[in-house]
Structure 1
């Protein structure tokens, strides 16, 4: 006879004292916390990263920095967290084990589509000094190739027509800026925490242009008065699974509807440029600097670029997780070689140990406890390629250096977006340009000489310069042909062994 599992009580503030001693709990009076931050895009990454740094600040006694989160799409996070009083579990997993911590920095979660006015009201609270964002690259409604506002984006068209009921993060921010100005409130600082090159400056350019479309006067105000510091964020946060929920519930003795799982490593580099104050995040381990760019470039190109290439090759090779892909010797060797090719394009931050950083990335990718799915990393590739791989390719081309290994990363993406894997099974392609990519792939067919030029011709990804470069075209066609001929694992191994401009001819 099988005994039924006990029904566990829901995680709640009132039951904190009953939780196991080993579970770390908030070390401050949550009732004393006021709202200083509104966060747009209240997903797993924010809850494993910025909210944790802020939770540490609250524990120092500075209770001005509670977070109101907002979902711009789905009510799922609100429905999970609000019945728990905003509490959730952070599970830090390494090969050595798991450590649980309850995070209490989030005071409330709003759902923008249900009530745009409620979110605008929150953004206009006098106590709010910072609006932060993790809306992913596609949430900026911009052209990834140029970093400019996409004025034809459906959400931008909608928001300009209906400014009091916006859909996009950009529309909400500019409407809130205008309303705060009318109310005589200090401007908030807008803090992007997404993987965009010069994310603060890119966001400032997008906001200024959108505001100018609303009115030239508002555009001038945003351009001159709204601070958008650059940041660099780094922590691997896989999607939470039902297995995670069950394991964490058993450890807590309480059901947490949406815990987050992450790795021990965390890093946050922030340009110290705020209009109306900020938390002392440096006390929680963040690095405040005058120039984020060297840190950002090193992370985007070494970590994110390698991660994306690894995800596409690993998925095509039938490896479900990053750690499983790294167990494929040829793919692991290719990732190391790709990092070696990337390093010469970096302007390094002070005291940077590039070799040590590369070793740490390999160790993080091999963390089997995380189960970070290659499919999750592969999402939205059209938005990610420009900063993760194409910027490095541009620099290597300018220096006269070979681009074959980075071209293989791009070719693996091209093979992936055809929507059929190496075993002939359909791929669940998630990308803002999915329809365009699928149409190009259907028309070209699985022929490298046709497929590569067709996808290279998408200017919002590759711009005008890269499709015109004969070296890159040849490298991508050769890599894509190899992927079709011998598969991802064998091709990655061959490219890991190869060197110099003859790589394509000599090893595949």
Structure 2
């Protein structure tokens, strides 16, 4: 089998490097680089990506062995039907390890064609490290490396405003762009860099807050031999992802014009405020996951797909989403319903086995962040109790009993949470257990027993679930 490279694949087209990317992992290659590949095909973007390895140990050497080429396989449900699509990604020009050649890395800042910097260095990647004491030697932190490169660019182009870059981080933290900008400014002060550089960062460099959404399972190690036979190449960087994708970017119109994703038909939204989209994702996608887990698990189901396709559990989660979560959100009904339908299709993806127990990790804190806001907002707007979301809360309390229908539940939470539930379930009645849980302000940051009717509704739902368990055990 032949190796994959530009010669064997017959790829001759080259584009100038317009994007410097921190991170060579599966997500960026299955999300951002795929988009840029489509931009090159369908628009006049005509730019390539050079990938910077953000830590000492990485895989840019594998990327360079394949001349930046790799295959992306999209698998999932679209319009109710299972789909599979394969694409050879050609937008990546190669990779660079700054730990092997720091000066070569800094020289990337001198590239006049460079327009964008994109990153995904994990949630912990955007942080200040006082141990990075100088830009003269390679900083260990990502923001330190970025500051050093931006300072090289600032000095090389004499602070020209038209050579400032657009920074688009994809790390999963709120206000990721603003946080990264503030960390760069912190390094500028830490290193005693000229005030003009900080002014250039604040006034001319654009830092975008973003929201990303795509499931990227990554390298298909179990089936890679079969895939390589099908594609006819020894590709060691194959990436699998779902078809759904969404990128929401807070940015001025100039960024949307320079990065013309709309012309390519990509689901990228340039907005003034991404807060409604973040709320939509947390409430509908993440909230539905969290609301579904205890209900489905107590019915004997074990995967998300199983649960959504189950007559009873599937009806429950659809009604929870469309009748109790969506009415608490402020985007248009069309946008909310389309996103919700996409979520259901994503849950049904036959190519991804999503275990309920993997979502169940730290379910109490997840319920507080993902579901409870919908509960309280529904009550505020409707003057009624959201019965399905409260049934999920009752199921969560039962779930944390740690035993159901004679079987142990492998709970995974903090020692404090597990200890609390152990003592709560040691009380004489289930009503006392429910009261103790709902009154725990460490869990909810409020006393839920003070919400009119809520305690009674959860207690009744819990009794109904217990009755169903008794019927199954007869």
TM bucket by the smaller chain?
0.7 to 0.9
CA distance in 1 between partners of 2:336 and 2:55 (Å): 39
Further displaced range: 439-448 or 234-243: 439-448
SS at match of 1:367: coil
SS at match of 1:82: helix
Tell me how far 1:285 sits from its aligned partner: 1.8
Further displaced range: 336-345 or 211-220: 211-220
The answer to whether the aligner puts 1:346 opposite 2:329 as a matched pair is yes
Relative to structure 1, the CA distance from residue 424 to residue 358 in structure 2 (aligned partners, 3 Å threshold; closer, same or farther) is same
Tell me how many residue pairs correspond in the alignment: 433
1:12 maps to which of 5, 10, 14: 5
Match of 1:503 in 2: 457
Tell me how far 1:131 sits from its aligned partner: 0.8
The answer to whether the aligner puts 1:222 opposite 2:201 as a matched pair is yes
CA distance in 2 between partners of 1:206 and 1:348 (Å): 32
CA distance in 1 between partners of 2:341 and 2:65 (Å): 42
1:315-350 deviation digits (Å, cap 9, x = unpaired): 89987753244345565445334424332332205x
2:121 maps to which of 127, 135, 147: 135
Indicate the RMSD between aligned Cα atoms, in angstroms.
4.6
Larger radius of gyration: 2
What stretches of structure 2 of length at least 5 have no aligned partner? 426-432, 463-474
Match of 1:433 in 2: none
Tell me how far 1:355 sits from its aligned partner: 2.8
1:407-439 deviation digits (Å, cap 9, x = unpaired): 9589969989x9xxx966978x8xxxxxxx756
After superposition, where does 1:13-162 map in structure 2 within 5 Å? 13-16=6-9, 29-30=12-13, 32-60=14-42, 62=44, 64-73=46-55, 75-94=57-76, 95-111=81-97, 118-141=104-127, 156-159=129-132
CA distance in 2 between partners of 1:178 and 1:215 (Å): 12
1:70-123 deviation digits (Å, cap 9, x = unpaired): 343474542443221111111121353422110111111234565565544435
Relative to structure 1, the CA distance from residue 347 to residue 265 in structure 2 (aligned partners, 3 Å threshold; closer, same or farther) is same
Tell me how far 1:222 sits from its aligned partner: 3.0
CA distance in 2 between partners of 1:108 and 1:36 (Å): 13
SS at match of 1:92: strand
CA distance in 2 between partners of 1:384 and 1:39 (Å): 31
Relative to structure 1, the CA distance from residue 192 to residue 423 in structure 2 (aligned partners, 3 Å threshold; closer, same or farther) is farther
SS at match of 1:107: strand
1:279 maps to which of 252, 259, 264: 259
SS at match of 1:45: helix
Match of 1:289 in 2: 270
After superposition, where does 1:80-479 map in structure 2 within 5 Å? 80-94=62-76, 95-111=81-97, 118-141=104-127, 156-159=129-132, 164-183=137-156, 184=158, 186-208=163-185, 211-212=188-189, 214=191, 217=195, 219-273=198-252, 278-286=258-266, 287-293=268-274, 294-307=276-289, 321-327=303-309, 331-339=313-321, 340-349=323-332, 352-372=334-354, 388=370, 405=389, 438=414, 440=416, 446-447=422-423, 466-467=444-445, 469-471=446-448
CA distance in 2 between partners of 1:72 and 1:414 (Å): 44
What stretches of structure 1 of length at least 5 have no aligned partner? 1-7, 18-25, 142-154, 430-436, 476-498
TM-score normalised according to structure 1 size? 0.68
TM-score normalised according to structure 2 size? 0.72
Further displaced range: 47-56 or 234-243: 234-243
1:338-379 deviation digits (Å, cap 9, x = unpaired): 424332332205x73423432231122111123355677678
